Structure 1
Amino acid sequence: MLMDVIGRHVPKVEVSKMRQALAAALVHDLGHGPFSHAFESVGKRLGLKMADHEHVSDVLIRDSEVATVLNELGSGFANDVADIIRGRGKKNVYRAVVSSQFDADRLDYMRRDRLMTGTQHAGIDFKWLIANLQIASVPFGVDESSIGEIETFVLGPKAIFGAEAYVLGLFQLYPTVYFHKATRGAEKIFGELLYRTIMLIQNDSLDATGLPNNHPIVRFARHPDDVESALGLDDTSVWGALPLMCEARDGAIASLAQSLRYRELGKCVDIRERVAHAIEDSGKADDEIDACCAKIKEKLTDWLGRQDANMPPIHLDEAQRSPYKVVEETQGPLDRINIYTNGGKLVDLKQRSAVVAAVKPFKLFRVYCQRSDMETQKVVNAIVDGEIGNARQ
């Protein structure tokens, strides 16, 4: 549908560019490992480049059977597709199909994730948004100096309410789906399980993990720079390993594997929610909430550092999602929603919508403890209550 918009509004459509954009939209996520971004977080902790889905996607598109197929569309076609995904080269409307506020990926996963999770939040008028999409040249620059223009998707003036629903809908998916306490709790367990398993394997302690020598996780741990070992990992290989890891000699691995296999997720202590409730009642502002959470995190981190490193008694979880980036925080017109006013002036959505401008970022700060570990829960609650008491004085 985005290509139809380009076809309607671009006088001289570049067919080769359209094909590259279509291909890029289809293959840009090829490199995702098991459990997607949760696996990437493990890779960052261990410094594993083959856990970075953008790097793996780039390798596959440039040098695999994927490249062979893509290059049938023209010499160098695969490299051109990879460059679009990596953000190299000229920014234009074809690049906007792959990476922008209205890229194909975002418009797809918003509706797909809403459907698959069953949530009634985040509904958008997709057809109306597409019907009101136009293409215009938007100026960009550094500070106050203009350095050029970029052709990108913009919205007509009638789409103001649809645009608001789109921004708020995407924003709502985070607290209700992506940042849901059960989702994040499971991701924390998965991350700790895979982190410790890979660490033990790389330290020649395979026997403690419960895994056989030829398991895909073992191959990846031993050859983390090999793309084939990365491709051997998927959700199924991890789920299939859980019964084996439940019998691991390493107590931490066995406990974490059992938690995932039997969905015995940790007890969630929503620290920020508790702090916000207490401090907002006292009439204090967000800055005080942030400061109180920071002090709690400092004390929890200090306490955690004195515990058994092999089996952390708590998992800290901190994240933030802004409903919409202000112009100064974006990398240009592709990273914001441009919309026409009724007078024909093209402006940033936040300048026209009081609703979007008023929504505050969603922040979370939680701790997950084992449900049976009452002593740890007492420690966490004592630290939280103590700092809340200090903040309210």
Structure 2
Amino acid sequence: MPRQQRIRDPLHDLIEFDIERSQLEDVLWRVIQTRAFQRLRRIKQLGFSDFVYPGATHSRLLHSVGVFHTARRLMKVIEKYLPAKDARVDQALAAALLHDLGHGPFSHAFEKIGERFDLKMANHEAVSEILIRDSEISELLRDMGSGFANDVADMVSGSGTPTIYSAVVSSQFDADRLDYMRRDRLMTGSQHAGIDFEWLMANLEVGDVEYSVDETRLKPVQTFVLGRKAIFAAEAYVLGLFQLYPTVYFHKATRGAEKIYTELLSRTIMLIRDGSVGKTGLPEMHPLVKFARTPDAIENALALDDTVIWGALPLMANSNDEWISKFAERVRDRKLYKCIDVRAKIAHDKDDGAALSFEADAACAVIRDEIGKCLEEWSIKCPDAPPRILIDEVERSPYNKLTEDTKGPLNQINIRTDGDHLVDLSKRSNVVAELKRYKAFRVYHADDDDEAKTKISEIIDAGISKWPT
């Protein structure tokens, strides 16, 4: 057997596993060969983003290996400050590789279906924990020690006291984010969201950050901090994440596809549970049918991936259920609903400044809720017909100040000052301090449904008319 195994990665180039001299890397290489990990080849990292960016077809498997590689880079930083060998190094590296193990088909969109039906096995964190603690993977991990698998699972789930090692797995500056920001930008071809990765790594330090909760000073937390020369790179890092959300992760077409997919699978699961498998177009032994009937079985969850859903679409398109057949065709052929951006319409009708006040003014939130309620009431008048209106409301903060976040310093970026103090980035950077939460409120309708389009406009206009003067 060769001394090293290599994976060629478009982002990191060669990712090597020294299976002769490193027991951990030998174990993790064998973990990569397991069925559960290989399943990640068939789950795209960005779900439906290739509907917008055709190059964005990279897999969760490649991202997971890239996170492991990035975690090794972060460990070299830790070694400069904490040279003593710590068992948590190996735990964090294994956790970095396995953090996405439990994702279902189309990842986060599948979790929305799980929330609707209370399906534990649609939650990627729950599935990951089971696979790490009790599966073929856990058996391999036990070569590192009897309690190693459980320690890794705890680190993936975020259990226990935060440490510099858990910061590698989950923090504002963790290996996951450092990989997916760069990888997703590369694979989509977007020119937004570029970060100065090497400069950030060159200026990365380990520091003890003090903080308080409810005016009670707590024990300092050891985490990653950035040297004084990295403030502009840190700003670009935060801005890069902020830019990825509207341009990639929350793109209107991507979100529109996710909405149709969610309604398609929800309808399918509901019919299967009601004993109407024949209406779905799927055979009795199809993996999706088996999952809907016995959703708590880990084996049924592992049988699902993106390819299973893609393969089911031609069958579902021939369903005698109008809802399933129409939505299956829409996903298969990328015939998405048209999008009306409610926030943009308010800004257009009231003036550009209205978009800002829409975020800050409580009265605007009432109007938004009223519009959403009216749209939902109209759309469910025919419960057995395919939904004519799909509503998408989402928000994301690019950076939470320490006072806004309960996770403590691990979820902050601290910069060392010329006076050798550690200060939260939002207090050193006017750019970061002024960033607002990204919010989207959109309504989707079929392009040939003039009645729905007219009704949506009427409801939105009625809501806007109540805008405070």
Asked whether the two chains share a fold, i.e. TM above 0.5, the reply is: yes
Confirm or deny that 1:380 pairs with 2:456. yes
Work out whether residues 271 and 384 of structure 1, in 8 Å CA contact, stay in contact via their aligned partners in 2: yes
The answer to whether residue 232 in structure 2 is matched with residue 161 in structure 1 is yes
1:326 match: 401
Return the alpha-carbon distance in structure 2 between the equivalents of residues 53 and 310 of structure 1: 31
CA deviation string 1:298-334 (max 9, x = no partner): 2212222434354221110000011211212221011
- The residue identity in structure 2 corresponding to 1:225 is D
Residue in 2 aligned with 1:347?
A: 423
Aligned to 1:262: 333
Q: Report which stretch shifted further, 252-261 or 323-332.
A: 323-332
Match of 2:85 in 1: 13
1:313 has 2:388 as partner? yes
- Give the superposed CA RMSD: 1.4
Aligned to 1:285: 357
Whether the 8 Å CA contact 2:210–2:219 is kept in 1: the answer is: yes
SS at match of 2:159: coil
Query: What residue number does 2:74 align with?
Result: 2
1:337 partnered with 2:413: yes
Which of the residues 270, 277, 280 maps onto 1:206?
277
Distance (whole Å) between structure 1 residues aligned to residue 298 and residue 265 of structure 2: 18
> 1: distance between equivalents of 2:214 and 2:349?
40
Q: 2:370 aligns with which of 271, 281, 295?
A: 295
What's the CA shift string for 1:19-49, capped at 9, x where partnerless? 1100000001100000000000000000000
Alpha-carbon deviations, 1:97-134, whole Å to 9, x = none? 00001111000000111111111100000000111110
- Which string of whole-angstrom CA distances, capped at 9 and with x for unpartnered residues, describes residues 49-104 of structure 1? 00000000000000001101111011110000001111112211000000001111
Count, aligned residues: 392
Partner residue in 1 for 2:299: 228
State the partner residue of 1:179.
250
Structure with bigger RCO (C-alpha 8 Å, 6+ apart): 1
Question: 1:278, CA displacement in angstroms?
Answer: 2.5
Query: How far does residue 289 in structure 1 lie from its aligned partner after superposition?
Result: 4.2
For residue 71 of structure 1, the aligned residue among 119, 142, 152 is 142
Give the secondary-structure state (helix, strand or coil) at the position aligned to 2:441: strand
Tell me: CA distance 1:279–1:341, structure 2 relative to 1, closer, same or farther (3 Å): farther
Give distance in 2, aligned partners of 1:45 and 1:230: 16
Query: In structure 2, how many angstroms separate the alpha carbons of the residues matched to 1:224 and 1:384?
Result: 39
Q: 161, 185, 193: which one pairs with 1:90?
A: 161
| 1:233 alignment partner, SS class | coil
Q: Secondary structure at the match of 2:219?
A: strand
Query: In terms of mean alpha carbon deviation, does 269-278 or 96-105 score higher?
Result: 269-278
Find the aligned partners of 1:66 and 1:276 in 2 and give their Cα distance: 52
Provide runs of 4+ in structure 1 moved above 6 Å: none
Kindly, what percent of the aligned residue pairs are identical?
56
Tell me the distance in 1 between the aligned counterparts of 2:384 and 2:249: 28
CA distance in 2, matches of 1:333, 1:305: 45
Give the structure 1 partner of residue 109 of structure 2: 38
SS at 1:136 equivalent: strand
CA separation in 2, counterparts of 1:274 and 1:193? 29
Give deviations 1:242-301, integer Å, cap 9, x for gaps. 000000011100010000011000010111111123234476823154343222112212
Cα distance between partner residues in 2 of 1:319 and 1:112 = 23
TM-score by length of 1: 0.97
For structure 1, the residue ranges without an aligned partner over 5 or more in a row are: none
TM-score by structure 2 length? 0.81
Amino acid aligned to 1:322:
S
Partner of 2:445: 369
Whether the aligned pair in 1 keeps the contact of 2:280 and 2:324 (CA below 8 Å) is yes
Which structure 2 segments of 5+ residues have no match? Answer: 1-72
Q: Is 1:390 paired with 2:466?
A: yes
Q: CA deviation at 1:339?
A: 1.1
Cα deviation per residue 1:113-167 (whole Å; 9 max; x = unaligned)?
1111111100000000111110011123321111212111001111100000000
C-alpha contact 2:347 2:353 (8 A) present in aligned 1: no
Q: Which amino acid aligns with 1:75?
A: S
1:168-202 Cα offsets, whole Å, 9 max, x none, are: 10011000000001100000011001111011101
Provide the secondary structure at the position in 2 that maps to 1:391.
coil
